[in-house]
Amino acid sequence: GFSGRKAEYTIALARDDLDLDALATLPDEDVKDRLVALRGIGEWTADWFLARHLGRPHAWPAGDLVLRKAVRSFYGDVPDVRSFGARFHPHENLAAHYLLTGLRTMPPQ
């Protein structure tokens, strides 16, 4: 469901002066900094915004629990999923999507 808190964050975000076109011109870290400065927006949302909305090739949503599960399923115990994404450079975003698709299509164990 959509909690009251999420509704508050969504309304606040809609009222904010967030220029999506301007964000698209910024480096990844600047986009993340701008987004997480907004109430209710965290690193997970900022990472997926970079990956899905802006299509940034280096976006690696390491905080995503399903991506973490996919990394563990295919690579075993990985202590730091965020730094692990560097092995896919410069295509971290694409690798994340392949890992998520692979996990989704993997036969039940």
At position 55, the amino acid (one-letter code) is G
Tokens of 22: 């301007």
Catalytic residue among 33, 64, 77, 80: 64
Residue 47 annotated in active site: no
Q: Which residues are catalytic?
A: 64
